[in-house]
Amino acid sequence: MVRKWMASRLAKAVVVIAGLVVVGLCLCPLLGARWVFLRATDMDINSGVLRHQVRVLTLPVAEEKEDSRLSREVRRLGIVTPETPLWKRTSESRLWRGIHVCHIYGGVLARATELVMSLELAETPDDERREVLQRFMTALQLADPQHAEQQARLIADEIAGRVFRGAQ
C-alpha cells in the first residue's frame, strides 16, 4: 500500500516536472518580447542624466541613475535646468538573441557626448561652453530630437573647424 502511494506520488511529480519543462520550452521564444525582459536606458532631456532600468514581466526590477558627460558639464557650468525629469528612451535590449534597439534619443545622446568632447578637445573657455550647451539644451527641450541632434552636429563641426584651423 505504501509502495503504491509512493509510486503514484513519484509519477505525479514526474508529470508535473515534465509539464513545467514543456511549458518552459514553449515560452522560450517569448523571451524576446519586451514585456518579458527588458533592459533600457533613458535620458532626462532636461538635465542629461541617464537612467538604466531592468524590467521583468513589465515590473521594474532594478534602476540606476548615472551622470552622462552632458549632465556633468551642465551641472559644472551651473546651467539652470528644470528640476522635473523628462525621460526619453535612448536604447533597450532584450534577453533573447541579444536584440538591441536604439531609439531616436540614442542618436541625440551620442551627438551630445560628441559635442562635450569637442568642447574639451578645443579647450573652449567656460563662458563659451556655457553658451553653447545652453543653446543645445534649449534645442533638446523645445525641439524635436532630430533638430537637437542636428544642432549638436553643427556646433561640434563648427568647433572642430576652429580647432583644425588653429592647428595649421
**Model confidence over 114-123: pLDDT tens digits?**
999 999 988 9
CA distance 36 to 167: 53
- Give me the pLDDT at residue 70, please: 95
- Give me the pLDDT at residue 5, please: 63
DSSP 55-110: EETTEEEEEEEE--HHHHHHHHHT----SS--EEEEEEEESGGG-EEE-HHHHHHH
* Domain spans, the chain: 1-30, 33-167
Work out the angle at residue 160's Cα, subtended by the Cα atoms of residues 66 and 103, and round it to the nearest 5 degrees.
40
pLDDT digits (tens, 9 = 90+) for 73-109: 999 999 999 999 999 999 988 776 566 777 888 889 9
Mean pLDDT, 10 residues at a time, the chain of 168 residues: 69 83 64 70 94 88 94 95 92 72 86 92 92 91 86 84 64
Q: Over the Cα atoms of the chain, what is R_g?
A: 25
pTM for the structure as a whole: 0.74
